Amino acid sequence: MDTRIDDLPTSQHFRLERLSEGVYAAIHRSGGWAIGNAGIVDLGDRTLVFDTTYSPQAGADLRAAAEALFGRRVGLVVNSHWHSDHIWGNQAFDPTTTLVSTAETRRQIVTTRGDEDLDATLAGAEAHLASWRARYAAAVDEEERCELALWVDQWEATVALEDILEVRVPNLAFTKRITFHGSVASAELIELRGGHTTSDVVLWLPEARIAFMGDLLFVGCHPYLGDGDPDALRRALDAVLALDPQAVVPGHGPVGTAENVAAMRGYVDTLDGLARQMIAAGEPEETVTAMAVPPPYDTWQLRMFFAANLRALYGRARSASPTIS
């Protein structure tokens, strides 16, 4: 069963977008608590959910949407990587659901349970929310308000998590690649290491030629490069481009195409080049603060990531150049 487009389930946290027969993207909705995007796929005999968003509330809506679309319980849930905006909805799914990740991602998720940083994040959520609300109220530029709204959403969701969050760990782990063959479609999980985190998964649907990329791809937004290796990220993006996808679903931003994957690669090349130029010219890292965001990236959302990304790439390039004093 594939619900007609006019009858798609709705949620205050995300909007569903039908990409192909039995394939849906769940895209974060402003004002909601999904924060990260997700996916729902009908394999014929099983329903697969890719990522579970930031909050149990959004995760519960995601589960309900998947069950309404295909008239069965969710059989498989995939975590693309360990970051909270892709896994904290895990607890909304039935405990008997098979929860899948790479072995490295599972290890990372295990380490977050009872972690002091997690406790501190939850304990400080109300103060952070007040700060972001104040910044939002003071902003006069509409683009800035749109960007700040996401952080307000995230901290509102975090406040609501303090007494209910349970970090649920995957019960099926793999390395490199695993394929689930359903009665009408197959789903390939491809591990690509080091580009965004130590281990990320792309969900590739060969029949539909659709790739769900998690945070290896941001569309219309500055990505977060602080935990990854730019060379590994370029290799990951090239690997996806080699699949020749017809549609790609990013971890953040709207559904895109191969052109958006190429644009993301261009972003990495541009910032890596800027960092290396700064080092060659003897410019200190502090000059990043005054740098303007170059076009076309000056129109992308999450602009605050630009300086952080450039600093990260500067530090990586400098550490790789021991002859530079």
pLDDT of residue 319: 86
Where are the chain's structural domains?
5-113+167-319, 116-161
CB count within 10 Å of CB 92 equals 22
CB count within 10 Å of CB 316 equals 17
C-alpha dist (Å) from residue 86 to 82, 200, 224, 277: 7, 11, 14, 35
Least trusted range by pLDDT, from 2-6, 197-201, 204-208, 295-299 = 2-6
pLDDT of residue 248: 98
Mean pLDDT for all residues in the chain: 94
Any idea which architecture 5-113+167-319 has in CATH? Answer: 4-Layer Sandwich (3.60)
pLDDT of residue 325: 40
pLDDT of residue 163: 87
Residue 189 binned pLDDT confidence (cut-offs 50, 70, 90): very high
Query: Mean pLDDT, to the nearest integer, of 181-198?
Result: 97
Query: Mean pLDDT, to the nearest integer, of 5-29?
Result: 93
Query: Mean pLDDT, to the nearest integer, of 234-238?
Result: 98
pLDDT at position 65 over 50: yes
pLDDT of residue 119: 86
pLDDT at position 323 over 70: no
pLDDT of residue 112: 87
Whether 214 contacts 196, CB under 8 Å: yes
149-170 confidence digits (pLDDT tens): 999 999 999 999 988 999 999 9
Whether a cis peptide bond, with omega within 30° of 0, leads into 223 is: no
Sign of CA dihedral 58, 213, 198, 225: negative
pLDDT at position 6 over 80: no
Long-range Cβ contact pairs of 145-152 (< 8 A, separation 24 or more): 146/30, 146/301, 147/301, 147/302, 147/303, 147/304, 149/30, 149/31, 150/28, 150/30, 150/35, 150/301, 150/302
Query: Mean pLDDT, to the nearest integer, of 265-283?
Result: 95
Amino acid at site 298: D
Sign of CA dihedral 170, 17, 250, 43: positive
pLDDT at position 324 over 70: no
86-143 confidence digits (pLDDT tens): 999 999 999 999 999 999 999 999 998 777 788 889 999 999 999 999 999 999 888 8
Query: Mean pLDDT, to the nearest integer, of 191-210?
Result: 97
pLDDT of residue 117: 83
Query: Mean pLDDT, to the nearest integer, of 191-206?
Result: 97
